[in-house]
Amino acid sequence: MEKPPLIWFNVILFSSTLLATLILVPWYQYAVGFDLLIIGCAVASLFFCGLSITAGYHRLWSHRTYQAHWSVRLVFAIGGAFAIQNSALHWSSDHRIHHKFVDNNDKDPYSAKRGFWYSHMGWMLRHYNIATYDDYSNVRDLQKDPIVMWQHKYYALLALLTNAGFILVLGWLTDAMLASLIAVGFTRLVLSHHFTFFINSWAHMWGNQPYTDKNTAKDNWLLAIFTHGEGYHNFHHIFEMDYRNGIKWYHYDPTKWLIVLLSWCGLTTKLRVTPQQKIEQAKLAMILQRTQQKLALRQDAEELKLKLLAEYEQLVAKLNQFYALRKQLFEDRKRQLLKEYDKTALKAQIKELKQAIELQRKDWLTLANFA
Ligand SMILES: [Zn+2]
Ligand SMILES: [Zn+2]
């Protein structure tokens, strides 16, 4: 099949900035040397671009996982243009198609099943999606956001102004125009591009699948470091309406921290989270499925298979009971129905159940590992 024509603008943009970075960074470091202020500004601008994409383009606009004050949206719109990753409207439209048709080579705009290169950046180098390029029917909600539409209309101008503006202002302030161009211009743009692209390539190829194996998305803590927390992509693909990607306290997810921090200032609201019960169920179901697959190869394991399933069902039943009780406690407390001794009794029951679940979970995992 003949390949569609090249998108020369993207080819030139990606290759010239990469080439400039690879040649100019070592040369300048050797000939003059970057001072700390310039390096600090480059890192700050990398975070500004990255977080505008992850917190703004991705978790706010593509998935509507929370709501944000206009001032926050304006900052994200400017940061997104600075990152040169197309308008928020276009990006979100592509991304919603990616989630809806993930791994479908004909429909997913950056299907990982077409290989690393294609999902990383190949898909942007040719007119693969020309037929649907201007179809924004899946982002009608975003078309009601005046900031999204303003950014979409003036995207090219904004991209030019932010890139030229930040480079010039910093160069003028530090009296090091060339260093500013190399560090905040080229290097920041190249890193910010590839870190985002990794989410479509790397995060669909290498890592774990603790929640689902129905698509190629993986959890990868190393990638989370480069992508402001977006490396927990397996979780994200099954629970895309959650404002978090890394759900544990020790998961590196600065995008989540930023959204929470802004909510403390009243600038973000309605942060959506997946019920813990659903997360636990997905995880247990995955372990069960893997163990059953392993056991299916063995003839002698009938008894073990049955035991595993029976204990799994008990565990899930207990978990459901636990969450139902907790919900009851929460709701009764809200309606102030509970007398003090009832509350204590209910709390004790929940605690006891939690301990029983932990014990049973341990036993069951031992059984699953043994199999
Ligand atoms: Zn997503
Ligand atoms: Zn994905």
What is the distance in A from the centroid of ligand 1 to the CA of 291? 29
1 three-class SS = coil
Cα(154) to centroid of ligand 1, in Å? 25
Ligand 1 centroid–CA 264 distance in Å is 24
Helix (H) or strand (E) holding 68: strand 67-68
Hey, where are the domains in the chain?
A: 8-269, 276-370
Per-residue pLDDT tens digits for 237-269? 999 999 999 999 999 999 999 999 999 999 999
Measured in Å, residue 360 CA sits from the centre of ligand 1 at: 34
Give the Å distance between the CA of 237 and the centre of ligand 2: 6
Q: How far apart are CA 298 and CA 292, in angstroms?
A: 10
Taking CA 245 as the corner, what is the angle to CA 190 and CA 227, rounded to the nearest 5 degrees? 15
Q: Residues 83-108: what's their mean pLDDT? A: 96
Q: At residue 75, does pLDDT exceed 90? A: yes
Cα 146 to ligand 1 centre (Å):
22
The whole-number pLDDT of residue 309 equals: 83
Coil, strand or helix at 268: strand
Task: Name which of 238, 365, 251, 248 is nearest 308 in CA terms.
Answer: 365
Ligand 1 center from residue 200 Cα (angstroms): 10
User: How many residues are present in the chain?
Assistant: 371
Distance from residue 230's CA to the centre of ligand 1 (Å): 9
Where do runs of H (alpha helix) occur along 34-154?
36-51, 70-82, 88-100, 116-117, 123-125, 146-153
Distance 255 CA to ligand 1 centre (A): 13
Q: Ligand 1 centroid vs 167 CA: distance in angstroms? A: 31
Q: How far is the CA of 282 from the centre of ligand 2 (A)?
A: 18
CB atoms within 10 A of CB 157: 10
The residue-averaged pLDDT of 207-225 equals 96
| pLDDT at position 323 | 87
User: What is d(CA 137, CA 109) in angstroms, rounded to the nearest whole number?
Assistant: 16
Determine contact, residues 119/128, Cβ cutoff 8 Å: no
Per-residue pLDDT at 189: 98
Ligand 2 centroid, distance to 287 Cα (angstroms):
22
Q: How far is the CA of 51 from the centre of ligand 1 (A)?
A: 14
Looking at every residue in the chain, the average pLDDT score rounds to 92
Helices and strands in the chain: count of H runs, count of E runs: 16, 2
Q: How far, in Å, CA of 33 to CA of 207, rounded?
A: 37
pLDDT tens digits along 310-362: 888 888 888 888 888 888 888 887 777 667 777 788 788 888 888 888 888 88
Mean pLDDT over 220-229 rounds to 97
Q: Ligand 2 centre from 291 Cα, in Å?
A: 26
CA of 94 to the centre of ligand 1 (A): 10
Q: What is the CA radius of gyration of the chain?
A: 25
187 alpha carbon – ligand 2 mean position (Å): 25
Residue 367 has pLDDT above 80, yes or no: no
Residue 96 CA, ligand 2 centroid: distance in Å: 10
Ligand lying nearest the CA atom of residue 236: 1
pLDDT 10s digits, 106-125: 999 999 999 999 999 999 99
Cα distances from 36 to residues 42, 176, 330, in angstroms, run: 10, 12, 51
CA of 51 to the centre of ligand 2 (A): 17
Ligand minimally distant from the alpha carbon of residue 112? 2
Rounded to the nearest whole angstrom, what is the distance from the C-alpha of residue 40 to the centroid of ligand 2?
31
Interval between CA 63 and ligand 1 midpoint (Å): 7
pLDDT band at 178 (very low <50, low <70, confident <90, very high): very high
| Residue 178 CA, ligand 2 centroid: distance in Å | 37
Confidence of residue 40 (pLDDT cuts 50, 70, 90): very high
In the predicted structure, residue 52 carries a pLDDT above the cut 70? yes
Q: What percent of the chain has pLDDT over 70?
A: 98
Q: How far is the centre of ligand 1, averaged over its atoms, from the C-alpha of 185 (Å)?
A: 27
Banded model confidence at residue 29, pLDDT cuts 50, 70, 90 = very high
Q: Which ligand has its closest atom nearest to the C-alpha of 240?
A: 1
Residue 363 is predicted with a pLDDT of: 81
pLDDT digits (tens, 9 = 90+) for 123-152: 999 999 887 888 999 999 999 999 999 999
CA 110 – ligand 2 centroid, Å:
9
> Which pLDDT value is given to residue 338?
65
Of the listed ranges 129-133, 154-158, 180-184, the least confidently predicted one is 129-133
